[in-house]
Chains A and B, each alone.
Chain A
Amino acid sequence: MSATNCLRCLGRPAVAGASRGVIVPVFAPRTAPFSTTAVQNAMPGKPQKSMEHQDRSVRVYRAGKKMKIKKKGNLDRGKPPAPGERKAFRKKIVLSNDNALPVPWVTEMVAGSLSDRKQVGTIVSLPPVLQDQLRATEAFQPTQTWGLFRKPSTLIRQESVDLIGKMEKAVENKETARIVLTGEKISGKSTMLLQAQSHAYLNNWIVIHFPDAQELINGSTEYAPIPNTENPTLYMQQNYCLKLLQSIKKANEKIFAKLLSVSSHSELPQNITVNQPLLSLINAAKEAEGAWPVFQALWSELNAQGANRPPILLSMDNLPHIMKISEYRSASFDKIHAHDLALVKLFTDALGGNARFPSGGAVIAATNRNNGPRIPSMELALKQRLAVQNGDSEGMPVKDPYFKGYDERVEKVLKTVEVMEVNRIGKKEARGLMEYWAASGLLRTTVDEQAVSEKWTLGGGGVLGEMERAALLTMKI
């Protein structure tokens, strides 16, 4: 920094350098020679009035002036919300409410809780470790009412016991249960998925969960063709894949630390040799670029035969979204079918029965009714499967011969799946649930037969979400 005063003579020069006859650069704003705007803007003072205006005898028309209307209303001078903040508010998940009373008879969920037929109609709470795992896989949804109660808890329904029973049976026989959950709006399909995941985590399964199938196909993540795939060309979604890998890692960290690799993977960004923990394999995916090969390597490791792998749960919410043409386009601008996206293909192969997990496991998908597209092939296939399961060969629905919108690929995937309907709950379960609400201090009525019957009826005859709306999301508290 230079001193303002001359150090030799202690005199302050009036104009720097002027007295000494030194050429001083003029600090004019530097602009491109063909533009004068910046220079004009930088000029100090007002533009001078012309002499004509001061002479009153001359009539002057004021040209170039416009009437300005000052805008009323409050100007928003505050800081706008940061990018992503508004969405974060929408997606925020709160799992506890300190105002709600603790319910003494609610126990913590253990490995065998969900398969215990005696516990149907009771409420169990999710242990904290499990909460973190479920959070990592985005199993909780902001529209559910977790935030009203002291601890996140869930009702054990007849359907959940049935579902878990099927999962257990499949693992006993080293098979893969392939199940599609259907049912009405807000009847608890996603919560059933959450229960399946909870059971899997508590029994040391590996869980890979796609929280929303819509994210895969609606053109919101980057995609690229996988080299050396022809007829059809497959596409990878590296960013989504990285996110998925991180959530898998966070949720299954303990198991992956123990499992060791059975083959070497030299093609990855970080060389993985035999007998390294799978955790380091996942850690090899640092950036989106290498995510897909890492995921492939992980998938092949998990499916390695004879390596004593734990059972696998592969689950997906909002299934109908992946049963249609995606929003992506190929290089020749043709629409890409969702089943040509590699991640979707992995899931549909497993759901269709082409993948075989070494220690068995389950592939579970839940349909959605609120935001989901209508897929005629899927609806027909599910109805047909239900008819077959019920042994109702006469009432088997058939294809409409005049309708063109059926999709063979969808039918092929759903040809052999098992369909489970998530129905309305019975009055016994409803009573258990309402006693829990009342004991939490959220339902301020006596829970007797009449009250249960009232809410059960208001909730469409036991549709669980509608019952919640009637009792918990109401002005009459």
Chain B
Amino acid sequence: MPPRLNLTSAFRALSLRASTTPAAGTSQPLFLQQSQKVAAPAARRFYSGDNLTPDSQLPQSEQLPPSSSSSSSSSLSPEQFDNAAQQSVRQQQQRQDNVNALNRLEMVAYGLNPFDAKEEGHKYGLPSLPLPSELHKDHRYDDVMGQITRLLMKDGKLSKAQRDMAMILNYLRTSPPPKLNPLRPLIPGSPAPHFLPLDPVTYLRVAIDSVAPLVKIRGFRGMAGGGRSLEVPAPLAARQRRRTAFMWILDAVQKRKSKGSGRKMFPTRVAEEIVAVVEGRSNVWEKRAQVHKLGTAARANLMNPQIKNFL
């Protein structure tokens, strides 16, 4: 294997180090420096923590957007400022270059590769590994989103289904906060209703998980005697539960009347049904209760000696 020590890349790397002024001697990778620069708007995910309210998260200078507030003024005249700045940058660059070169020599002495791709040649740095799931092309969407979009799909037109799903989310974003029905409690741990519209993905997830059934009824043909089938409850996995719930919702959407036309009509109907589910008005709740009732009644059949081999 040829040595990977390549001098051209070393020079290129040296000339790149002119931009911002971190303290001399830091040999931080670029991507780490980037992530430290994250400014005030980082806090705009205002209900990521419980104790945060939207008001406390606004930047100090409220009348200015974040980008314009960062440009600070100085008392120097522009030319003076330019000269001084240039000189200091040059000095710092030299110092930095020396430090970097020394660091590299040190690394070579230890038998390490000083020109690791992690550090050099990337405009925005390399992402930290392992990659978060949303950076993988197959898992770029929320898991519920991905599953449900495919359930919406007709004739294999995934792109259209995705557009429909986006419209559903936009409907949820613009609809008023749902009024919950205490008789139809949502899944435990769901956020307060006034938080739901601005987080439509959670809105949808809460709706589906709340009406997802826990069991399905399996029929064993002819085992109940007299040709009747023996009904036995069987637990469902999370994906199966969501699928069942969303298929029920889609059935309800089919029965819903279309009052308009155009490409927004179908997503609007789906979104209306989802709001109805969260507000406890939907018939899907009845279906769930029915399945659960049947499951409770049939659970004695689990002890049937005939089916022990099947379970």
Contacts and interface: CB of A to CB of B under 8 A. Distances in A.
Interface of A: 74, 76, 78, 81, 85-90, 94, 97-101, 104-105, 122, 147-148, 431-432, 435-436, 438-439, 441-442, 444, 446-448, 450, 453, 472-477
Interface in B126-154: 134, 140-142, 145, 149
B149 to A, nearest CB: 7
Given A81-B260, A104-B62, A147 B174 contact: yes
Given A99-B197, A438-B41, A450 B62 contact: no
25 contacts: A81-B260, A86-B259, A90-B262, A97-B173, A105-B65, A148-B170, A431-B67, A436-B65, A438-B41, A439-B41, A441-B44, A441-B46, A441-B54, A442-B198, A446-B38, A446-B44, A448-B34, A448-B42, A453-B124, A472-B170, A473-B167, A475-B166, A476-B141, A476-B142, A477-B201
B173 A450 contact: no
A446 B66 CA distance: 11
A473 B42 CA distance: 22
A78 B255 CA distance: 11
A81 B37 contact: no
A37 B101 CA distance: 107
Given A436-B65, A446-B38, A89 B176 contact: no
Contacts of B198: 99-101, 441-442
Interface string B157-171: 000001101110110
Contacts, number: 113
A98 B62 CA distance: 20
Contact of B257 (A78, A147, A441, A450): A78
Contact of B169 (A88, A431, A436, A475): A475
Interface string B62-94: 111111000000000000000000000000000
Contact of A447 (B66, B166, B201, B255): B66
B260 A90 contact: yes
A234 B276 CA distance: 56
A108 to B, nearest CB: 13
A7 to B, nearest CB: 54
B124 to A, nearest CB: 5
B263 to A, nearest CB: 9
B260 A89 contact: yes
A432 B124 contact: no
Contact of A435 (B41, B46, B54, B201): B41
B264 interface: yes
Nearest to B171: A147
Interface in B186-228: 197-201
Contacts of A105: 62-65
Contacts of B177: 99
Q: Closest 7 interchain pairs by CB? A: A89-B260, A90-B262, A99-B197, A104-B62, A86-B261, A446-B42, A97-B174
Contacts of B167: 473
A89 B264 CA distance: 9
Contact of A86 (B34, B46, B62, B260): B260
A275 B177 CA distance: 55
A436 B67 CA distance: 11
Contacts of B32: none
B259 A89 contact: yes
A461 B15 CA distance: 28
B223 to A, nearest CB: 31
Nearest to B172: A99
Contact of B261 (A90, A431, A447, A474): A90
Contacts of A98: 176
B77 to A, nearest CB: 22
Contacts of A476: 134, 140-142, 145
Contacts of B112: none
A450 B162 CA distance: 25
Contacts of B42: 446, 448
B45 A444 contact: yes
Interface of B: 34, 37-39, 41-42, 44-46, 54, 58, 62-67, 124, 134, 140-142, 145, 149, 162-163, 165-167, 169-170, 173-177, 197-201, 255, 257-262, 264-265
A475 B62 contact: no
B170 A90 contact: no
A293 B65 CA distance: 52
B200 A477 contact: yes
A448 B142 CA distance: 23
A104 B261 contact: no
Contacts of B200: 477
Contacts of B46: 441
A448 B37 contact: yes
A90 B173 contact: no
Nearest to A102: B54
B174 A122 contact: no
A249 B261 CA distance: 31
Contacts of B140: 476
B149 A148 contact: no
A148 B141 CA distance: 22
A85 B173 contact: no
Contacts of A446: 38-39, 41-42, 44
A39 B165 CA distance: 58
Contact of B63 (A104, A148, A432, A477): A104
A448 to B, nearest CB: 6
B262 A148 contact: no
A358 B163 CA distance: 49
A474 B166 contact: yes
Contact of B174 (A81, A94, A438): A94
Contact of B34 (A97, A100, A450): A450
B152 to A, nearest CB: 11
A441 B264 CA distance: 23
